[in-house]
Amino acid sequence: MVVENPTNPPSSEGDGPIQKDVESPKTFTLKILKLIKDAQQQHGLRHGDYQRYRGYCSRRISRLRKVLKIPQGDRRHFKKRDVTEAHIGSSRADERLLHLPLMLAERCWAYGMQLKQEANTEPRKKFHLVQKLRKACVYALQLGELCKLDRCDARTQLEAQAYVAWIHGSLQFELELWEKAAENLQKAQLIYEKLITALSEEEQPPYKQRVDEIAPSLRYCAYNIGDDKAVDLLELRSQGVLDTFDALVSQTKEKTAAVLHEVTWFGVKISIKIEKVRVFLLSIEGLDESLKNAESHQAKIKILENLFIDLRDVISLTRESARTDKQDNLVLAYLLSIRIERTSQRNLLLVQQTRKPQDCVRLLDINIQQTIELSQNELLKNNNLAQVHFDNYIAAYKTLRSFYIAKTHAGAKRWREAAILFETTDKTVKTLNISNYLTELASLLSTVKENAATEVVNAKANFVLEIHEEQIVIPLPQKVYKSKKPLIERLDEFREEPQIMSKNPNLVPLPPAMEPVPAKPLFFDLANNLLEFPDLSEKLDSQSKPKQGAAGITGFVKGLWGWGSNNK
C-alpha cells in the first residue's frame, strides 16, 4: 500500500502545483485635512472650545483601539502599542489604522491650544503647551512614516507631509525659532496650494482655509527674521497672530528708537510716566500707515476695534493714577482725545459702508457731539490751536450731516426741504479746505463737493414737476347727499356725505326717543304663566260699553268656542 504525502500531492502531466488566488492589498486614501476639519467643526472648534475637541479625540482613540483590536494592556497593566508597518502591511489591514496616530496628534495639539488660551492669565502653562506640541510632533511623524508605505496613494502621502510640516511649524512658532518655523510653514503652504489645483471645487474650501491660516504666521516669521516690509504688526494682530502684542511692540521699538517719555499735544508737552501708556503710544505710531495698507473698510474697522480694547485698559489705569497724581490728568485727557478721534474715524468708515442716509446722520451726530465735548475740556478751552482744529472738524461733520439729511428728504419726496439743504451744503463745502482732514473725512467731503450741485438741480426740478402736477389735477364733481336720517339707521346704504366729516355729523339721534317699557316686577315675571286675571267688564265706564257691542261678532265667536269663559 502506498501512502501519499498530502503536503506534496501527485501531479499529473500538464498540471502544476495547486495555487490559491491571492488578492492584491487595498490602497489607502486618507483625506487628512478634510477629516480633521470636519471633526473640529462638529466638536467644539467652531466656538473655539479646544477642551471639547480634546475629549472627542480621546473617545475616538478609545473606539478605534477597540475596533481595530490594538489595546494597550488590560485593566491592571499598561503596555504601549503603536500602529506599525506590520499592521499596515497586513492583507486584512483597515484604513482606520491611520486614523489612530492622527487622532493622537490632534488630541495633543488641541490640549496645547487650550493651554495657550489659559497661558494669558497663567504664564507657567506655556511650558506645558510646548510639551504637548512636542508630543503632537512625535505622533505626526509616526503618521508620516506610515503614509510613506506603498499601501497609501500619492494624495495621502502629500497630505501627511503637509500635516507634519504644519505641526512642526506650529511648535517652532511657539519656541520663536522663526527661520525653521517659516521653512516648515512654507512647505505646508506649498503642498496645500498644489493640492488645491489638483482637487475639484467641492473639495477645495478646507485647503484654501488652511492656506489663509498659514499666511499671517509666515508674514510674522518674516518680520522677526528681518524682512520688515513683509509684515504689518497691527494688521497681524487683527488676524489673531499676536497674543503678546504689547511686549512685542515695546521690544521692537526699543531697538529702533529711543523710549518715548513725552508727547506734544496742541503745543502742550505731556510727560508720560506710566510704562504701559508708553508702550501703547509706541504701538499706535504706525496706525495711520496700517489703515492705509488695509485691504478693505472692514479690515480697517477691525484694526480700530482692537485699538479700542487696549485703549480702554490704558485709560482705566491712567484714571486710577490721576487720583493721586494730578499731572496725569493731562495724560488722561490726551488718551480720551485719541479715543474720540479714532471713534469718529471708525464712524466715518461705517458711513462709507452704510446705504441708508438716516443711519449716516445718526453716526455724524455722534461725531459732532463727541467733538464738541472734547473742545469744551478744561485743559483745552483757552488753547486757540485746539479750538480752531475742533471748529474745522465740527464744520465738516455738519456739512456732511446736512447732505445726508437732504438725501433723507429726497428719499421721502420732500423736494423743497431737500433743495434748500443741498444748496446750503454746496455753499459750505466749498469753504472747507479738504486737504486738512483725515483721509476718510476728506474722501467723503470730496464726494459731496462733486455731487452737491447736481443734487440741487435734481431736487429743484422734482419740486417744480410736483407743483405742476398739483395744478393740473382737477377735482371731479361729487354728488352731495343730505339726509335727515341718522347714520345708525341707514348703515346698509353707501353715500358720500360731507356732513359726516363736518363738526356736527348726523350719526345717532341724541337724546334717544322715549319708548314705553312694560313694568314687570320680578314676581310676575316668574309666575306670569300661572296667573288668571279677573273679569273687569263690570267696572268699565259706560262710554266703553258701545265699543263692546261693536265687537259683538268677535265676542260671539269667543263665547261659542269657550275662549272667553272664566274658569272659576
Q: For residues 245 and 34, which has the higher predicted lDDT (pLDDT)?
A: 34
Q: How far apart are CA 69 and CA 63, in angstroms?
A: 10
Q: For residues 246 and 458, which has the higher predicted lDDT (pLDDT)?
A: 458
Nearest CA among 457, 346, 440 for reference residue 400 = 440
User: Does 519 score more than 80 pLDDT?
Assistant: no
User: Does 520 score more than 70 pLDDT?
Assistant: no
User: Does 209 score more than 70 pLDDT?
Assistant: yes
User: What is residue 164's predicted lDDT score, i.e. its pLDDT?
Assistant: 93
Highest mean pLDDT among 125-129, 268-272, 470-474, 540-544: 125-129
Work out the average pLDDT over 520-538: 68
Q: What would the grid cell of residue 279 be? A: 508702550
Question: pTM score, two decimals?
Answer: 0.45
Q: How confident is the model at residue 528 (pLDDT cuts 50, 70, 90)?
A: low
Q: For residues 305 and 495, which has the higher predicted lDDT (pLDDT)?
A: 305
User: What is residue 557's predicted lDDT score, i.e. its pLDDT?
Assistant: 52
Q: For residues 546 and 25, which has the higher predicted lDDT (pLDDT)?
A: 25
User: What's the pLDDT tens digit per position in 457-485?
Assistant: 888 898 888 887 766 655 555 555 666 78
Q: How far apart are CA 115 and CA 132, in angstroms?
A: 9
Q: For residues 8 and 397, which has the higher predicted lDDT (pLDDT)?
A: 397
User: Does 84 score more than 70 pLDDT?
Assistant: yes
User: What is residue 546's predicted lDDT score, i.e. its pLDDT?
Assistant: 52
User: Does 15 score more than 60 pLDDT?
Assistant: no
Least confident of 237-251, 299-313, 445-459, 488-502: 237-251
User: What is residue 13's predicted lDDT score, i.e. its pLDDT?
Assistant: 38
DSSP 3-state of 23? coil
Q: For residues 377 and 350, which has the higher predicted lDDT (pLDDT)?
A: 350
User: What is residue 139's predicted lDDT score, i.e. its pLDDT?
Assistant: 93
Considering the chain, what is the average pLDDT of its residues? 79
Q: For residues 137 and 488, which has the higher predicted lDDT (pLDDT)?
A: 137
User: What's the pLDDT tens digit per position in 106-126?
Assistant: 999 999 999 998 888 888 888
Least confident of 66-80, 142-156, 489-503, 535-549: 535-549
Work out the average pLDDT over 518-533: 65
User: Does 10 score more than 50 pLDDT?
Assistant: no
User: What is residue 9's predicted lDDT score, i.e. its pLDDT?
Assistant: 42
User: Does 330 score more than 90 pLDDT?
Assistant: no
Q: How far apart are CA 498 and CA 253, in angstroms?
A: 83
User: What is residue 465's predicted lDDT score, i.e. its pLDDT?
Assistant: 86
User: Does 42 score more than 80 pLDDT?
Assistant: yes
Please state, for a pLDDT cut of 90, what percent of the chain lies above it: 12
Least confident of 131-135, 361-365, 449-453, 498-502: 498-502
Residues 445, 432: contact at Cβ < 8 Å? Answer: yes
| Burial of 32 per CB tally in 10 Å (0-12, 13-18, 19+) | buried
User: What is residue 245's predicted lDDT score, i.e. its pLDDT?
Assistant: 46
User: What is residue 448's predicted lDDT score, i.e. its pLDDT?
Assistant: 87
| Burial of 443 per CB tally in 10 Å (0-12, 13-18, 19+) | middle
User: What is residue 57's predicted lDDT score, i.e. its pLDDT?
Assistant: 93
Q: For residues 170 and 273, which has the higher predicted lDDT (pLDDT)?
A: 170
Q: For residues 474 and 162, which has the higher predicted lDDT (pLDDT)?
A: 162
Work out the average pLDDT over 294-300: 82
Least confident of 172-181, 383-392, 521-530: 521-530
Q: How confident is the model at residue 501 (pLDDT cuts 50, 70, 90)?
A: confident
Alpha-helix runs per DSSP H in 354-414: 357-375, 384-411
User: What is residue 560's predicted lDDT score, i.e. its pLDDT?
Assistant: 55
User: What is residue 261's predicted lDDT score, i.e. its pLDDT?
Assistant: 67
User: What is residue 257's predicted lDDT score, i.e. its pLDDT?
Assistant: 41
CA 311 to chain centre: 23
CA torsion 227-233-237-243 (nearest 10°) is: 80
φ, ψ of residue 152 to 5 degrees: the values are: -95, 145
Q: How far apart are CA 39 and CA 517, in angstroms?
A: 85
| 342 contact partners, CB below 8 Å, separation of at least 6 | 304, 307, 308, 311
Q: How far apart are CA 551 and CA 563, in angstroms?
A: 15
User: Does 524 score more than 70 pLDDT?
Assistant: no
Residues 110, 57: contact at Cβ < 8 Å? Answer: yes
User: What is residue 112's predicted lDDT score, i.e. its pLDDT?
Assistant: 92
CA dihedral over 86, 90, 94, 95, signed as positive or negative? positive
Q: How far apart are CA 464 and CA 214, in angstroms?
A: 61
User: Does 375 score more than 90 pLDDT?
Assistant: no
